[in-house]
């Protein structure tokens, strides 16, 4: 990073993007080892650079602005700074929606990711209807993506179904929760047939969630069977 800082100082137009990439990589490492203050500083500096670059060349750098915002929002969420997290996610989502209009194949997956993340923030701040709305939209996007490319997107479709099922279960809509869990389970079982190491944990997660749902509905025999 020191080298890139020196290069960018002498020739910012050529090396600023390289410095930003290095900052993001460093931020990711800091996050992984739980040095969250250092991670935040690096993400924020990278975001400032990408914002400047995007003013000159939005085509090349606006996607990087969205990535930096989403990463920073996730860090804020991890440290319970939920208001700041929401602001960053919402800006990332607005950018990704614009990008997806021009190139849906490339950017719709990112739209779904940010919607899914934002739904978690809404849920954690007790805005349950907004959480469900965001999760539903993420699910709709992922259904379309999985229809066109199931090998790439079925796992994400299953994750969205599982998340929405959890929301349904927590708000007492047990029948809708069961249907979503069962669809997620069907997808995850299918994926596990081709790659058990990668996808069997997802099968176990959904079975456990379904067992919990059955217990909530006093269906104890079924709960013990799937659990």
Domain spans of the chain?
1-142, 149-227
Give the separation between CA 161 and CA 164, rounded to whole angstroms.
Answer: 5
Q: How confident is the model at residue 218 (pLDDT cuts 50, 70, 90)?
A: confident
pLDDT in tens, 19-63: 899 999 999 999 999 999 999 999 999 999 999 999 999 999 999
pLDDT above 50: residue 2 = no
Of 159, 156, 206, 217, residue with least CA distance to 181: 206
pLDDT at res. 4:
47
Please say whether the beta carbons of 47 and 74 come within 8 A.
no
pLDDT in tens, 67-123: 999 999 999 999 999 999 999 999 999 999 999 999 999 999 999 999 999 999 999
Is there a common fold for 1-142 and 149-227?
yes
pLDDT at res. 20:
93
Helices (H), the chain: 2-10, 12-32, 36-56, 58-78, 82-102, 104-124, 128-148, 150-170, 174-194, 196-216, 220-226
Please say whether the beta carbons of 55 and 25 come within 8 A.
no
Judged by DSSP in three states, 138 sits in helix
pLDDT at res. 212:
93
Q: How confident is the model at residue 9 (pLDDT cuts 50, 70, 90)?
A: low
Structural fold of domain 1-142: 1.25.40
Please say whether the beta carbons of 135 and 115 come within 8 A.
yes
pLDDT in tens, 164-210: 999 999 999 999 999 999 999 999 999 999 999 999 999 999 999 99
CATH architecture of the region 149-227: Alpha Horseshoe (1.25)
pLDDT in tens, 115-155: 999 999 999 999 999 999 999 999 999 999 999 999 999 99
Buried b (16+ CB within 10 A) or exposed e, 181-199: bebbbebbbebbeeeeeeb
């Amino acid at each position: 990073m020191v080298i890139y800082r020196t290069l960018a100082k002498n020739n910012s137009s050529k090396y600023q993007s390289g410095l930003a990439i290095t900052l993001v990589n460093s931020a990711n490492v800091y996050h992984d080892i739980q040095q969250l203050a250092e991670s935040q500083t690096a993400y924020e500096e990278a975001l400032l650079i990408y914002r400047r670059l995007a003013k000159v060349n939005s085509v090349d750098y606006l996607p990087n602005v969205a990535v930096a915002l989403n990463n920073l929002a996730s860090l804020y969420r991890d440290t319970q700074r939920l208001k700041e997290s929401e602001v960053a996610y919402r800006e990332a989502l607005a950018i990704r929606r614009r990008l997806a209009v021009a190139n849906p194949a490339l950017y719709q997956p990112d739209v779904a990711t940010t919607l899914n993340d934002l739904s978690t923030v809404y849920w954690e701040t007790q805005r349950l209807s907004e959480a469900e709305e965001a999760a539903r939209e993420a699910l709709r996007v992922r259904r379309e993506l999985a229809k066109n490319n199931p090998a790439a997107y079925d796992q994400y479709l299953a994750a969205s179904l599982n998340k929405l099922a959890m929301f349904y279960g927590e708000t007492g809509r047990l029948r809708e929760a069961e249907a979503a869990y069962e669809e997620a389970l069907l997808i995850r079982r299918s994926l596990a047939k081709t790659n058990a190491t990668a996808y069997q944990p997802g099968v176990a997660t959904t079975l456990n969630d379904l067992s919990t749902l059955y217990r909530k509905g006093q269906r104890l025999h079924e709960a013990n069977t799937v659990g």
